[in-house]
Amino acid sequence: MANLFPHLLNGLSLGLLFALIALGFMLIVGVMELINLAHGSLFALGAYFALVIIAPDPAWLGPLGESYHALPLAARYALALLVAPVLVGVVGMGLELCMRRTYGKKAEYGLLLTFGAALVLEETIRVLWGPSEQYLQVPRSISGAFLFAGLIYSKYKLFAALFAAAAIALVWLFLERTPYGAIIKAGAHDSEMVRALGIDLTRLRLLVFGLGAGLAGLAGIVLTPIWGLRPHVGVDAVIPAFLIIVLGGIGSFWGAVLGGILVGVAVGLTGAYASGWSLLSMYLLLIVVVTVRARGLFGRKSVLEA
């Protein structure tokens, strides 16, 4: 048991990070019934925007360059956590504007458009930042390691898990305790009724896509100091995100959170005891859950079901 405990804790922290990755994906699927295959590229874009905010080329800033670099890394990192997701959100909104011609058509149109967007974004990253591995700096206070019960843990991983938990709580508060959240939820439940009540559905979709994209970007900033940063890092995010929302039930907030945690624990435990199965474990988990409960853990009942 003493040997198992660190792995359970590790799985839990990994699960919170997976849940953070899936949140933005869940919002867009829930409200717009659209599988956003560009989620991974937006994840990567967030990290690259953060890279520029944390360590910009001094030439870009002109006379301000030196004084900006003199700011403590913690301040630049905090700025990146705030600004980069907003920038990704704006990119997401641009993508939503392109999506509009696909509304009301077959789902394949949306899938193809977001797939194309993913390729364009990844290639744009490659052109702007090059194909090589990049390094996203984190403040000294959250880097390094600490010793607990004879084992070494990463401070940053702990920070990232706590940050993910806080982000999940904030998104939940936004959805549950604000009128905007109520509109989003209503839009996910019955968009025609929302429109009938005089709410501008076009603007709602724009904002939801922006929010979902911003959350993808935020996850990218938090995850890439662990995973490393390269143009195609988004591929590593989009597959678990999709899997988690199917596992948790499409459009369900707590489904995405619980799905993320279950995937994290499965990957963490198999990583320790049957490491060859660690990536496969999430797919096996999905098969088991979907076999027992086709709509996922917290998915709404389909009208086709008796």
Partner 1 sequence: MAQRNLTRRSLLKQAGMLSAGAAATAFMGPWRYNRVYAAASDKPLMIGLTSDASGQYANSGASDRRGMHLAIAEFNKRGGVLGRTVKTIHLDTETTPATGSRVAERLIARDECAFLIGAVSSGVANAISQVAQKYGTVYLNTNSSSPTESGKNCHRVKFVWDGNGTNFAQAAVQNAIRAYGKKWLLMTNDYVWGHNTSAATRRLVGRYGGEIIDEILVPQGTRDFSAMLLKAQQAAPHVVAAAVGGDDLKAMRQQVAQLGLGQKMAWINNQQDWPDVYGLPLDNLFGVFGTTWYWKLDLPGVADFVKRYQAAYPSDPMRVPGNVFYNGYMATRELLSAVERAGSTNNRKVIQELEGLKVSARDRMQHHDAYMNSATHQMQQTIYLATANHGTKERDDMFKVLSQSSPEEIRDTGADAACKLESLADTPTYEM
- Contacting positions for partner 1 (CB under 8 A): 3, 6-7, 10-11, 13-14, 130-135, 143-145, 151-157, 225-228, 230, 232, 236, 267-272, 275-280
Is the separation of the CB atoms in 211 and 85 below 8 Å?
no
Nearer to partner 1, 70 or 149 (CB): 149
Nearer to partner 1, 174 or 273 (CB): 273
Secondary structure of the chain in HEC code, one letter for each residue: CCCHHHHHHHHHHHHHHHHHHHHHHHHHHHHHCCCCCCHHHHHHHHHHHHHHHHCCCHHHHHHHHHHHHHCCHHHHHHHHHHHHHHHHHHHHHHHHHHHHHHCCCCHHHHHHHHHHHHHHHHHHHHHHHCCCCECCCCCHHHCCEEEECCEEEEHHHHHHHHHHHHHHHHHHHHHHHCHHHHHHHHHHHCHHHHHHCCCCHHHHHHHHHHHHHHHHHHHHHHHHHHHCECHHHHHHHHHHHHHHHHHHCCCCHHHHHHHHHHHHHHHHHHHHHCHHHCCHHHHHHHHHHHHHCCCCCCCCCCCCCC
Nearer to partner 1, 64 or 280 (CB): 280
Nearer to partner 1, 173 or 280 (CB): 280
Nearer to partner 1, 46 or 210 (CB): 46
Whole-number minimum distance, CB 281 to partner 1, in Å? 10
Nearer to partner 1, 56 or 181 (CB): 56
Nearer to partner 1, 157 or 295 (CB): 157
Whole-number minimum distance, CB 156 to partner 1, in Å? 6
Residue 104 and residue 139: Cα distance in Å, rounded? 47
Whole-number minimum distance, CB 210 to partner 1, in Å? 27
Whole-number minimum distance, CB 173 to partner 1, in Å? 28
Whole-number minimum distance, CB 9 to partner 1, in Å? 9
Whole-number minimum distance, CB 123 to partner 1, in Å? 10
Whole-number minimum distance, CB 50 to partner 1, in Å? 15
